[in-house]
Structure 1
Amino acid sequence: MRDRATPNRDAYSLILEAIDVGTFKPGDRLVESDLAERFGVSRTPIREALQRLETQSLLARDGRSLIVASLDHNQMAELYAVRTELEGLAARLAARHATEEEIAVLADMVEEDRARLDDPKALARANRRFHKQIHLASHNRYLVQQLDLVHRSMALMATTSLAAEGRGTRALEEHGAIVDAIRRRDEEAAYKALRDHISVAFVTRLKLDAATER
Protein backbone atom coordinates (compact mmCIF):
# COMPACT_ATOMS: atom_id res chain seq x y z
CA MET A 1 0.00 0.00 0.00
CA ARG A 2 1.36 3.39 -0.98
CA ASP A 3 0.77 6.54 1.08
CA ARG A 4 1.57 9.42 -1.21
CA ALA A 5 3.13 12.48 0.34
CA THR A 6 1.47 15.83 -0.16
CA PRO A 7 2.91 19.33 0.30
CA ASN A 8 1.45 19.36 3.83
CA ARG A 9 2.57 15.82 4.74
CA ASP A 10 6.30 15.37 4.33
CA ALA A 11 8.31 12.17 4.74
CA TYR A 12 8.94 12.83 8.42
CA SER A 13 5.26 13.27 9.31
CA LEU A 14 4.25 10.24 7.24
CA ILE A 15 6.74 7.94 8.95
CA LEU A 16 5.89 9.37 12.36
CA GLU A 17 2.19 8.81 11.75
CA ALA A 18 2.87 5.23 10.62
CA ILE A 19 4.67 4.59 13.92
CA ASP A 20 1.92 6.32 15.89
CA VAL A 21 -0.90 4.22 14.42
CA GLY A 22 1.06 0.98 14.69
CA THR A 23 1.81 0.40 11.01
CA PHE A 24 5.47 0.29 12.04
CA LYS A 25 5.91 -1.38 15.41
CA PRO A 26 8.84 -1.46 17.88
CA GLY A 27 11.57 -3.64 16.40
CA ASP A 28 10.44 -3.19 12.78
CA ARG A 29 13.29 -2.49 10.36
CA LEU A 30 12.87 0.63 8.24
CA VAL A 31 14.50 0.46 4.81
CA GLU A 32 15.11 3.71 2.96
CA SER A 33 14.22 2.35 -0.50
CA ASP A 34 11.04 0.66 0.76
CA LEU A 35 9.87 3.84 2.47
CA ALA A 36 10.57 5.93 -0.64
CA GLU A 37 8.43 3.54 -2.68
CA ARG A 38 5.67 3.39 -0.07
CA PHE A 39 5.32 7.15 0.30
CA GLY A 40 6.11 8.09 -3.30
CA VAL A 41 9.03 10.40 -2.51
CA SER A 42 12.72 10.41 -3.32
CA ARG A 43 15.24 8.77 -0.98
CA THR A 44 16.79 12.08 0.11
CA PRO A 45 13.80 13.32 2.20
CA ILE A 46 13.36 9.78 3.54
CA ARG A 47 17.01 9.72 4.63
CA GLU A 48 16.64 13.12 6.30
CA ALA A 49 13.44 12.00 8.05
CA LEU A 50 15.10 8.84 9.36
CA GLN A 51 18.02 10.85 10.71
CA ARG A 52 15.64 13.23 12.46
CA LEU A 53 13.66 10.36 14.00
CA GLU A 54 16.88 8.70 15.16
CA THR A 55 17.96 11.97 16.81
CA GLN A 56 14.62 12.03 18.63
CA SER A 57 15.25 8.44 19.84
CA LEU A 58 12.20 7.14 17.99
CA LEU A 59 14.50 4.97 15.87
CA ALA A 60 17.49 2.95 17.05
CA ARG A 61 20.48 1.29 15.39
CA ASP A 62 20.58 -2.47 14.97
CA GLY A 63 23.92 -2.97 13.32
CA ARG A 64 23.73 -0.92 10.13
CA SER A 65 19.93 -0.96 10.09
CA LEU A 66 17.46 1.42 11.65
CA ILE A 67 14.58 -0.07 13.61
CA VAL A 68 11.63 1.42 15.45
CA ALA A 69 12.81 1.89 19.03
CA SER A 70 11.21 0.21 22.01
CA LEU A 71 11.00 1.25 25.65
CA ASP A 72 12.28 -0.85 28.53
CA HIS A 73 10.62 -0.82 31.94
CA ASN A 74 12.70 2.06 33.32
CA GLN A 75 12.22 4.21 30.21
CA MET A 76 8.47 3.63 30.36
CA ALA A 77 8.36 4.58 34.05
CA GLU A 78 10.35 7.74 33.37
CA LEU A 79 8.07 8.66 30.48
CA TYR A 80 4.93 8.20 32.55
CA ALA A 81 6.41 10.26 35.40
CA VAL A 82 6.97 13.19 33.05
CA ARG A 83 3.65 12.70 31.27
CA THR A 84 1.72 12.64 34.54
CA GLU A 85 3.04 16.01 35.64
CA LEU A 86 2.75 17.72 32.25
CA GLU A 87 -0.77 16.41 31.59
CA GLY A 88 -1.85 17.48 35.07
CA LEU A 89 -0.48 20.96 34.43
CA ALA A 90 -2.32 21.09 31.08
CA ALA A 91 -5.60 20.26 32.83
CA ARG A 92 -4.94 22.88 35.50
CA LEU A 93 -4.30 25.56 32.86
CA ALA A 94 -7.29 24.41 30.81
CA ALA A 95 -9.50 24.93 33.85
CA ARG A 96 -8.12 28.47 33.98
CA HIS A 97 -8.01 29.41 30.31
CA ALA A 98 -10.28 27.15 28.20
CA THR A 99 -13.07 28.87 26.33
CA GLU A 100 -16.64 27.64 26.69
CA GLU A 101 -16.42 26.36 23.12
CA GLU A 102 -13.31 24.30 23.91
CA ILE A 103 -15.01 22.79 26.94
CA ALA A 104 -18.05 21.92 24.81
CA VAL A 105 -15.79 20.13 22.33
CA LEU A 106 -14.19 18.09 25.13
CA ALA A 107 -17.62 17.10 26.47
CA ASP A 108 -18.77 16.08 22.98
CA MET A 109 -15.63 13.94 22.55
CA VAL A 110 -16.45 11.96 25.70
CA GLU A 111 -19.98 11.27 24.49
CA GLU A 112 -18.92 10.35 20.95
CA ASP A 113 -16.22 7.98 22.21
CA ARG A 114 -18.82 5.76 23.88
CA ALA A 115 -19.55 4.35 20.42
CA ARG A 116 -15.91 3.21 20.16
CA LEU A 117 -15.78 1.08 23.31
CA ASP A 118 -15.67 -2.15 21.30
CA ASP A 119 -12.78 -0.95 19.14
CA PRO A 120 -9.60 -0.41 21.23
CA LYS A 121 -7.60 0.97 18.29
CA ALA A 122 -10.27 3.54 17.39
CA LEU A 123 -10.65 4.40 21.06
CA ALA A 124 -6.87 4.86 21.37
CA ARG A 125 -6.90 7.31 18.44
CA ALA A 126 -9.84 9.15 20.01
CA ASN A 127 -8.01 9.19 23.34
CA ARG A 128 -5.03 10.94 21.73
CA ARG A 129 -7.37 13.54 20.21
CA PHE A 130 -9.00 14.13 23.60
CA HIS A 131 -5.69 14.69 25.34
CA LYS A 132 -4.47 16.91 22.51
CA GLN A 133 -7.58 19.06 22.91
CA ILE A 134 -6.79 19.52 26.60
CA HIS A 135 -3.22 20.49 25.70
CA LEU A 136 -4.52 23.13 23.30
CA ALA A 137 -7.07 24.35 25.85
CA SER A 138 -4.20 25.11 28.24
CA HIS A 139 -3.28 28.00 25.92
CA ASN A 140 0.41 27.49 26.65
CA ARG A 141 2.42 26.86 23.49
CA TYR A 142 5.53 25.68 25.32
CA LEU A 143 3.60 23.09 27.29
CA VAL A 144 1.94 21.88 24.08
CA GLN A 145 5.36 21.44 22.46
CA GLN A 146 6.67 19.38 25.38
CA LEU A 147 3.57 17.20 25.46
CA ASP A 148 3.90 16.60 21.71
CA LEU A 149 7.38 15.18 22.37
CA VAL A 150 6.06 12.98 25.16
CA HIS A 151 3.23 11.63 23.03
CA ARG A 152 5.61 10.82 20.18
CA SER A 153 7.52 8.59 22.56
CA MET A 154 4.25 7.01 23.73
CA ALA A 155 3.91 5.65 20.18
CA LEU A 156 6.84 3.31 20.94
CA MET A 157 4.61 1.21 23.17
CA ALA A 158 3.41 -1.80 21.22
CA THR A 159 -0.01 -2.00 22.87
CA THR A 160 -2.59 0.42 24.23
CA SER A 161 -3.74 0.20 27.85
CA LEU A 162 -7.26 0.69 26.47
CA ALA A 163 -7.12 -2.90 25.21
CA ALA A 164 -7.42 -4.20 28.78
CA GLU A 165 -10.84 -5.55 29.64
CA GLY A 166 -13.05 -2.81 31.07
CA ARG A 167 -10.38 -0.12 30.71
CA GLY A 168 -12.18 1.72 27.91
CA THR A 169 -15.33 2.26 29.97
CA ARG A 170 -13.38 3.38 33.01
CA ALA A 171 -11.18 5.69 30.92
CA LEU A 172 -14.25 7.48 29.56
CA GLU A 173 -15.57 7.92 33.09
CA GLU A 174 -12.23 9.47 34.01
CA HIS A 175 -12.38 11.71 30.92
CA GLY A 176 -15.82 12.85 32.04
CA ALA A 177 -14.49 13.75 35.49
CA ILE A 178 -11.65 15.75 33.92
CA VAL A 179 -14.05 17.70 31.71
CA ASP A 180 -16.38 18.32 34.64
CA ALA A 181 -13.53 19.80 36.70
CA ILE A 182 -12.44 21.99 33.80
CA ARG A 183 -16.03 23.16 33.27
CA ARG A 184 -16.27 24.11 36.98
CA ARG A 185 -12.96 26.00 36.68
CA ASP A 186 -11.63 23.87 39.53
CA GLU A 187 -7.93 23.89 38.74
CA GLU A 188 -6.86 21.56 41.55
CA ALA A 189 -9.59 19.02 40.79
CA ALA A 190 -8.71 19.07 37.07
CA TYR A 191 -5.03 18.58 37.86
CA LYS A 192 -5.75 15.66 40.20
CA ALA A 193 -8.32 14.05 37.89
CA LEU A 194 -5.90 13.97 34.97
CA ARG A 195 -2.96 12.82 37.10
CA ASP A 196 -5.08 10.00 38.50
CA HIS A 197 -6.20 9.09 34.98
CA ILE A 198 -2.61 8.72 33.77
CA SER A 199 -1.66 6.79 36.92
CA VAL A 200 -4.41 4.24 36.35
CA ALA A 201 -3.36 3.91 32.70
CA PHE A 202 0.22 3.22 33.80
CA VAL A 203 -0.85 0.54 36.28
CA THR A 204 -2.99 -1.06 33.57
CA ARG A 205 -0.08 -1.08 31.13
CA LEU A 206 2.23 -2.64 33.73
CA LYS A 207 -0.29 -5.42 34.29
CA LEU A 208 -0.61 -6.01 30.55
CA ASP A 209 3.15 -6.23 30.18
CA ALA A 210 3.44 -8.59 33.13
CA ALA A 211 0.78 -10.87 31.65
CA THR A 212 2.58 -10.90 28.30
CA GLU A 213 5.85 -12.01 29.91
CA ARG A 214 4.30 -15.01 31.65
Structure 2
Amino acid sequence: MNTETDLAFAPPPLPDEPFIKPVPRIQRTLREIAAEHLREAILRLELRPGDRLVERTLCEKLNVSRSIIREVLRELEGEGLVSKDNRGPIVRQPTREELEQIYELRALLEGTAAAHCASRASTTQIKELSKFLKNIEISYKKQNFVSVIEQTDSFYRQMFLAAQCDVAWELVQKLKGRISVYRAITIASADRQTTGLAEMHAILEAIKNKDAAAASLASSRHVQSAGRIALSRLGPSSPLANKKNP
Protein backbone atom coordinates (compact mmCIF):
# COMPACT_ATOMS: atom_id res chain seq x y z
CA MET A 1 0.00 0.00 0.00
CA ASN A 2 1.40 3.39 -1.05
CA THR A 3 0.45 5.68 1.80
CA GLU A 4 1.68 8.84 0.07
CA THR A 5 -0.36 8.08 -3.08
CA ASP A 6 -3.46 7.22 -1.05
CA LEU A 7 -3.18 10.46 0.88
CA ALA A 8 -2.69 12.44 -2.32
CA PHE A 9 -5.99 11.20 -3.74
CA ALA A 10 -7.96 11.20 -0.51
CA PRO A 11 -11.10 13.39 -0.72
CA PRO A 12 -10.96 16.64 1.24
CA PRO A 13 -12.86 16.72 4.51
CA LEU A 14 -16.43 18.02 4.27
CA PRO A 15 -16.84 21.58 5.53
CA ASP A 16 -19.04 22.34 8.49
CA GLU A 17 -21.18 24.62 6.34
CA PRO A 18 -22.74 23.56 2.98
CA PHE A 19 -21.01 24.71 -0.21
CA ILE A 20 -24.19 26.36 -1.54
CA LYS A 21 -26.45 28.21 0.83
CA PRO A 22 -30.05 29.11 -0.06
CA VAL A 23 -30.62 32.74 -0.91
CA PRO A 24 -32.91 34.30 1.72
CA ARG A 25 -36.09 35.85 0.35
CA ILE A 26 -36.19 39.43 1.53
CA GLN A 27 -39.53 40.35 -0.01
CA ARG A 28 -42.23 39.02 -2.29
CA THR A 29 -42.47 39.89 -5.97
CA LEU A 30 -45.11 42.19 -7.43
CA ARG A 31 -46.66 39.18 -9.15
CA GLU A 32 -47.05 37.33 -5.84
CA ILE A 33 -48.62 40.35 -4.16
CA ALA A 34 -50.95 41.01 -7.10
CA ALA A 35 -51.99 37.34 -7.17
CA GLU A 36 -52.75 37.43 -3.45
CA HIS A 37 -54.89 40.58 -3.79
CA LEU A 38 -56.88 39.25 -6.73
CA ARG A 39 -57.28 35.82 -5.11
CA GLU A 40 -58.64 37.41 -1.93
CA ALA A 41 -61.00 39.64 -3.93
CA ILE A 42 -62.48 36.50 -5.49
CA LEU A 43 -62.64 34.53 -2.24
CA ARG A 44 -64.19 37.49 -0.41
CA LEU A 45 -66.82 37.60 -3.19
CA GLU A 46 -65.89 41.13 -4.20
CA LEU A 47 -65.67 39.47 -7.62
CA ARG A 48 -68.42 36.92 -8.29
CA PRO A 49 -68.64 33.83 -10.51
CA GLY A 50 -69.04 34.97 -14.11
CA ASP A 51 -67.56 38.44 -13.52
CA ARG A 52 -65.30 39.49 -16.38
CA LEU A 53 -61.62 40.15 -15.58
CA VAL A 54 -60.50 42.96 -17.87
CA GLU A 55 -56.71 43.31 -18.01
CA ARG A 56 -56.69 47.11 -18.28
CA THR A 57 -59.02 47.49 -15.30
CA LEU A 58 -56.96 45.08 -13.21
CA CYS A 59 -53.76 46.94 -14.13
CA GLU A 60 -55.27 50.18 -12.86
CA LYS A 61 -56.70 48.70 -9.66
CA LEU A 62 -53.60 46.69 -8.73
CA ASN A 63 -51.11 49.23 -10.11
CA VAL A 64 -49.02 46.65 -11.97
CA SER A 65 -48.12 46.02 -15.60
CA ARG A 66 -50.21 44.05 -18.06
CA SER A 67 -47.55 41.32 -18.25
CA ILE A 68 -47.85 40.77 -14.48
CA ILE A 69 -51.66 40.66 -14.73
CA ARG A 70 -51.41 37.99 -17.42
CA GLU A 71 -49.10 35.90 -15.22
CA VAL A 72 -51.49 36.31 -12.28
CA LEU A 73 -54.49 35.26 -14.36
CA ARG A 74 -52.64 32.14 -15.55
CA GLU A 75 -51.76 31.30 -11.93
CA LEU A 76 -55.34 31.71 -10.73
CA GLU A 77 -56.60 29.73 -13.69
CA GLY A 78 -54.38 26.88 -12.51
CA GLU A 79 -55.95 27.20 -9.04
CA GLY A 80 -59.45 26.92 -10.48
CA LEU A 81 -60.47 30.49 -9.65
CA VAL A 82 -60.36 31.83 -13.21
CA SER A 83 -61.47 30.42 -16.55
CA LYS A 84 -61.76 31.75 -20.10
CA ASP A 85 -64.62 32.10 -22.53
CA ASN A 86 -64.60 33.48 -26.07
CA ARG A 87 -64.34 37.04 -24.70
CA GLY A 88 -61.48 36.48 -22.26
CA PRO A 89 -60.88 35.60 -18.58
CA ILE A 90 -63.73 35.47 -16.05
CA VAL A 91 -64.18 34.36 -12.45
CA ARG A 92 -64.83 30.65 -12.86
CA GLN A 93 -68.46 29.49 -12.75
CA PRO A 94 -68.91 25.69 -12.65
CA THR A 95 -72.05 24.09 -14.08
CA ARG A 96 -74.66 22.40 -11.88
CA GLU A 97 -73.58 18.96 -13.16
CA GLU A 98 -69.95 19.69 -12.33
CA LEU A 99 -70.82 20.85 -8.81
CA GLU A 100 -72.95 17.76 -8.18
CA GLN A 101 -70.16 15.41 -9.26
CA ILE A 102 -67.47 17.23 -7.30
CA TYR A 103 -69.40 17.32 -4.03
CA GLU A 104 -70.40 13.68 -4.44
CA LEU A 105 -66.77 12.64 -4.93
CA ARG A 106 -65.63 14.83 -2.04
CA ALA A 107 -68.19 13.22 0.27
CA LEU A 108 -66.84 9.77 -0.60
CA LEU A 109 -63.16 10.71 -0.25
CA GLU A 110 -63.51 12.79 2.90
CA GLY A 111 -65.82 10.25 4.52
CA THR A 112 -63.26 7.51 3.90
CA ALA A 113 -60.42 9.66 5.23
CA ALA A 114 -62.38 10.54 8.38
CA ALA A 115 -62.98 6.84 9.06
CA HIS A 116 -59.28 6.01 8.67
CA CYS A 117 -58.34 9.02 10.78
CA ALA A 118 -60.57 7.78 13.61
CA SER A 119 -58.73 4.45 13.50
CA ARG A 120 -55.18 5.73 13.05
CA ALA A 121 -54.82 9.25 14.48
CA SER A 122 -52.37 9.77 17.33
CA THR A 123 -53.09 11.92 20.37
CA THR A 124 -50.83 14.64 18.95
CA GLN A 125 -52.64 14.62 15.61
CA ILE A 126 -56.03 14.90 17.33
CA LYS A 127 -54.73 17.89 19.30
CA GLU A 128 -53.72 19.50 16.00
CA LEU A 129 -57.23 18.95 14.63
CA SER A 130 -58.67 20.60 17.74
CA LYS A 131 -56.33 23.56 17.29
CA PHE A 132 -57.36 24.10 13.67
CA LEU A 133 -61.05 23.87 14.55
CA LYS A 134 -60.55 26.50 17.24
CA ASN A 135 -58.83 28.71 14.66
CA ILE A 136 -61.83 28.29 12.35
CA GLU A 137 -64.14 29.50 15.13
CA ILE A 138 -61.93 32.55 15.75
CA SER A 139 -61.85 33.37 12.02
CA TYR A 140 -65.63 33.13 11.81
CA LYS A 141 -66.02 35.52 14.74
CA LYS A 142 -63.78 38.00 12.92
CA GLN A 143 -65.76 37.43 9.70
CA ASN A 144 -62.45 36.64 8.00
CA PHE A 145 -63.69 34.12 5.45
CA VAL A 146 -60.34 33.81 3.67
CA SER A 147 -58.83 32.68 6.98
CA VAL A 148 -61.77 30.30 7.51
CA ILE A 149 -60.93 28.61 4.21
CA GLU A 150 -57.22 28.43 5.09
CA GLN A 151 -57.85 26.96 8.54
CA THR A 152 -60.44 24.54 7.17
CA ASP A 153 -57.88 23.33 4.63
CA SER A 154 -55.37 22.89 7.47
CA PHE A 155 -57.91 20.84 9.44
CA TYR A 156 -58.55 18.53 6.50
CA ARG A 157 -54.88 18.29 5.58
CA GLN A 158 -54.18 17.08 9.11
CA MET A 159 -57.11 14.65 8.95
CA PHE A 160 -55.90 13.11 5.68
CA LEU A 161 -52.33 13.00 7.01
CA ALA A 162 -53.45 11.15 10.14
CA ALA A 163 -55.57 8.85 7.97
CA GLN A 164 -52.51 8.07 5.80
CA CYS A 165 -54.55 8.92 2.69
CA ASP A 166 -52.02 10.95 0.69
CA VAL A 167 -53.40 10.09 -2.75
CA ALA A 168 -56.96 10.88 -1.67
CA TRP A 169 -55.79 14.27 -0.36
CA GLU A 170 -54.25 15.12 -3.73
CA LEU A 171 -57.53 14.27 -5.44
CA VAL A 172 -59.56 16.34 -2.98
CA GLN A 173 -57.26 19.32 -3.52
CA LYS A 174 -57.82 19.15 -7.26
CA LEU A 175 -61.58 18.90 -6.79
CA LYS A 176 -61.62 21.85 -4.39
CA GLY A 177 -59.60 23.91 -6.83
CA ARG A 178 -62.39 23.62 -9.39
CA ILE A 179 -64.99 25.02 -6.98
CA SER A 180 -62.93 27.47 -4.93
CA VAL A 181 -65.37 30.33 -5.49
CA TYR A 182 -68.35 28.25 -4.39
CA ARG A 183 -66.49 27.13 -1.28
CA ALA A 184 -66.14 30.82 -0.41
CA ILE A 185 -69.86 31.36 -1.06
CA THR A 186 -70.93 28.46 1.16
CA ILE A 187 -68.59 29.48 3.99
CA ALA A 188 -69.87 33.07 3.88
CA SER A 189 -73.55 32.04 3.84
CA ALA A 190 -75.71 33.19 6.74
CA ASP A 191 -76.16 29.89 8.60
CA ARG A 192 -72.89 28.18 7.71
CA GLN A 193 -71.05 29.52 10.75
CA THR A 194 -73.46 27.64 13.03
CA THR A 195 -74.22 24.50 11.04
CA GLY A 196 -70.76 24.10 9.52
CA LEU A 197 -68.98 24.36 12.86
CA ALA A 198 -71.43 21.94 14.49
CA GLU A 199 -70.79 19.43 11.69
CA MET A 200 -67.01 19.77 12.06
CA HIS A 201 -67.27 19.32 15.83
CA ALA A 202 -69.20 16.10 15.15
CA ILE A 203 -66.36 14.89 12.90
CA LEU A 204 -63.75 15.69 15.55
CA GLU A 205 -65.77 14.10 18.35
CA ALA A 206 -66.12 10.86 16.36
CA ILE A 207 -62.37 10.84 15.66
CA LYS A 208 -61.62 11.37 19.36
CA ASN A 209 -63.92 8.46 20.20
CA LYS A 210 -62.21 6.24 17.61
CA ASP A 211 -65.62 5.72 15.98
CA ALA A 212 -64.81 5.21 12.31
CA ALA A 213 -68.42 4.81 11.16
CA ALA A 214 -69.58 7.97 12.93
CA ALA A 215 -66.59 9.95 11.62
CA SER A 216 -67.29 8.85 8.06
CA LEU A 217 -70.99 9.73 8.33
CA ALA A 218 -70.32 13.13 9.93
CA SER A 219 -67.73 14.05 7.30
CA SER A 220 -69.95 12.99 4.39
CA ARG A 221 -72.89 14.95 5.81
CA HIS A 222 -70.69 18.04 6.18
CA VAL A 223 -69.73 17.94 2.49
CA GLN A 224 -73.30 17.20 1.38
CA SER A 225 -74.56 20.17 3.39
CA ALA A 226 -72.01 22.46 1.72
CA GLY A 227 -72.99 21.02 -1.66
CA ARG A 228 -76.66 21.85 -1.12
CA ILE A 229 -75.77 25.47 -0.34
CA ALA A 230 -73.53 25.74 -3.41
CA LEU A 231 -76.18 24.23 -5.69
CA SER A 232 -78.85 26.54 -4.28
CA ARG A 233 -76.79 29.48 -5.54
CA LEU A 234 -77.31 28.16 -9.07
CA GLY A 235 -81.11 28.05 -8.71
CA PRO A 236 -83.41 30.37 -10.70
CA SER A 237 -83.96 32.63 -7.68
CA SER A 238 -80.25 33.03 -7.01
CA PRO A 239 -78.66 36.43 -7.64
CA LEU A 240 -75.67 34.57 -9.07
CA ALA A 241 -77.83 32.76 -11.60
CA ASN A 242 -79.49 36.01 -12.67
CA LYS A 243 -76.30 38.06 -12.73
CA LYS A 244 -75.40 39.44 -16.17
CA ASN A 245 -71.86 39.81 -17.38
CA PRO A 246 -70.89 43.38 -18.29
Question: TM (normalized to structure 2)?
Answer: 0.66
Aligned equivalent of 2:107, options 84, 90, 93: 84
Residue matched to 1:138: 160
Residue matched to 1:196: 221
Counterpart contact for 1:95–1:184, Cα < 8 Å: yes
CA deviation after TM superposition for structure 1 residue 133, in Å = 1.6
Aligned equivalent of 2:125, options 68, 91, 102: 102
CA deviation after TM superposition for structure 1 residue 174, in Å = 1.4
**What RMSD in Å do the two structures reach over aligned CA positions?**
3.5
CA deviation after TM superposition for structure 1 residue 57, in Å = 5.4
Residue matched to 1:163: 189
**Mean alpha-carbon deviation: is it higher for 200-209 or for 145-154?**
200-209
Deviations 1:90-142 (A, max 9, x none): 323332443323322332444565566677x5367425523432223322443
Q: What is the aligned length?
A: 208
Deviations 1:13-48 (A, max 9, x none): 554444233233212222334444555554334323
CA deviation after TM superposition for structure 1 residue 71, in Å = 2.0
- Runs of at least 5 residues in structure 2 that lack an aligned partner in the other structure: 1-26, 240-246
Counterpart contact for 2:117–2:159, Cα < 8 Å: yes
Aligned equivalent of 2:210, options 174, 185, 208: 185
| Distance change (3 Å), C-alpha of 1:149 and 1:19 | farther
CA deviation after TM superposition for structure 1 residue 66, in Å = 1.1
2:196 is aligned with 1:174: no
Deviations 1:51-105 (A, max 9, x none): 3544665433343321112122212111211221222233233324433233223
Residue matched to 2:49: 26
Whole-angstrom distance in 2 between the partners of 1:124 and 1:170: 18
State the SS of the aligned residue for 2:90: strand
**Mean alpha-carbon deviation: is it higher for 107-116 or for 26-35?**
107-116
Question: TM (normalized to structure 1)?
Answer: 0.74
Counterpart contact for 2:59–2:65, Cα < 8 Å: yes
**Among the aligned pairs, what percent are the same residue?**
27
- Runs of at least 5 residues in structure 1 that lack an aligned partner in the other structure: none
Whole-angstrom distance in 2 between the partners of 1:8 and 1:137: 34
CA deviation after TM superposition for structure 1 residue 179, in Å = 0.3
State the SS of the aligned residue for 1:61: strand
Whole-angstrom distance in 2 between the partners of 1:34 and 1:144: 37
How do 1:50-89 residues align onto structure 2 when only pairs under 5 Å count? Answer: 50-54=73-77, 58-89=81-112
Amino acid at match of 1:65: G
Between structure 1 and structure 2, the one with the greater Rg is: 2
